[in-house]
């Protein structure tokens, strides 16, 4: 009887080694497909980023109301804290882009921010649109709909924001 070769006596697991990465890949791929299929089975939400910002000036009451009319499931707004502690809905830290005047939100009172026209840059139809407060934005949210709050400043905004959310 012939002696077994060193190759056949060697580590038998090495023969199957090239299959191991392929099997692992297949298992992971199948798991990912199950997760993806489950996620897609959930009803997707239509979120209006800064309101209907393609059709109205962003972060304005006009944009949020239009988003609801267009069938959004949720709106997203950007929020800063004014100098006098009011939570206001504006994306940038200053008003230059939307109002044409460079007031820094954190250094301006709500009264001063309210004097600005943040709609004319979008078109004459929206002339006179103002920077809304969080309370005004919350008042637009219909029953059963959602709002996402994007905090654009520091943690000091959290207490007044929570207070307004409790009152809404």
Write out the catalytic residue numbers. 49, 91
Residue 87 CB coordination number (10 Å) = 27
How far apart (Å, rounded) are the C-alpha atoms in residues 113 and 122? 18
Backbone angles phi, psi at 146, to 5 degrees: -125, 160
How do beta strands 47-49 and 87-89 pair? Answer: unpaired
Q: How far apart are CA 28 and CA 14, in angstroms?
A: 22
Are the CB atoms for 65 and 140 separated by under 8 Å? yes
Quickly count: other Cβ atoms within 10 Å of residue 92's Cβ.
17
């Amino acid at each position: 009887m012939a002696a077994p070769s060193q190759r056949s006596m060697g580590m038998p697991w090495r023969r199957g080694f090239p299959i191991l990465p392929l099997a692992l890949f297949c298992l992971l791929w199948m798991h990912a497909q199950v997760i993806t299929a489950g996620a897609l089975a959930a009803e997707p939400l239509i979120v209006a980023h800064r309101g209907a910002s393609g059709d109205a000036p962003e972060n304005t009451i006009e944009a949020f109301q239009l988003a609801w009319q267009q069938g959004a499931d949720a709106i997203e707004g950007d929020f800063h804290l004014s100098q006098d502690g009011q939570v206001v809905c504006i994306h940038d830290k200053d008003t230059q882009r939307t109002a044409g005047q460079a007031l820094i939100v954190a250094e301006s009172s709500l009264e001063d921010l309210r004097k600005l026209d943040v709609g004319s840059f979008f078109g004459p139809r929206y002339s006179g649109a103002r920077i809304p407060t969080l309370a005004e934005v919350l008042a637009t949210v219909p029953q059963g709909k959602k709002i996402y709050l994007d905090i654009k400043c520091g943690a000091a905004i959290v207490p007044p924001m929570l207070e307004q959310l409790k009152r809404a």
